[in-house]
Amino acid sequence: MPSLLFVCTANICRSPMAMAIFKSKITHDTANWRIESAGTWAVEGMPASINSQQVLADHQIDLSYHLSRPIDVIDLDKFDLILVMEHGHKEAIQMEYPEVAGRVYLLWEMVGEKKDVHDPYGGRLVDYADTAEEIDQILTKGMEKIKELAYKNERAKQKKK
Q: Which of 8, 13, 69, 103 is catalytic?
A: 8
> What does residue 7 show for φ and ψ, rounded to 5 degrees?
-130, 135
Is domain 3-160 classified as CATH 3.50.50.60?
no
Separation CA 4–CA 79 (nearest Å) = 6
Question: What's the pTM value of the predicted model, to 2 decimals?
Answer: 0.96
Q: Which of 29, 34, 77, 119 is catalytic?
A: 119
13 in catalytic set: no
pLDDT by 10s per residue, the chain, length 161: 999 999 999 999 999 999 999 999 997 776 789 999 999 999 999 999 999 999 999 999 999 999 999 999 889 999 999 999 999 999 999 999 999 999 999 999 999 999 999 999 999 999 999 999 999 999 999 999 999 999 999 998 888 76
In this structure, the strands spanning 3-8 and 34-39 are parallel
Nearest to 89 by CA among 62, 111, 116, 55: 116
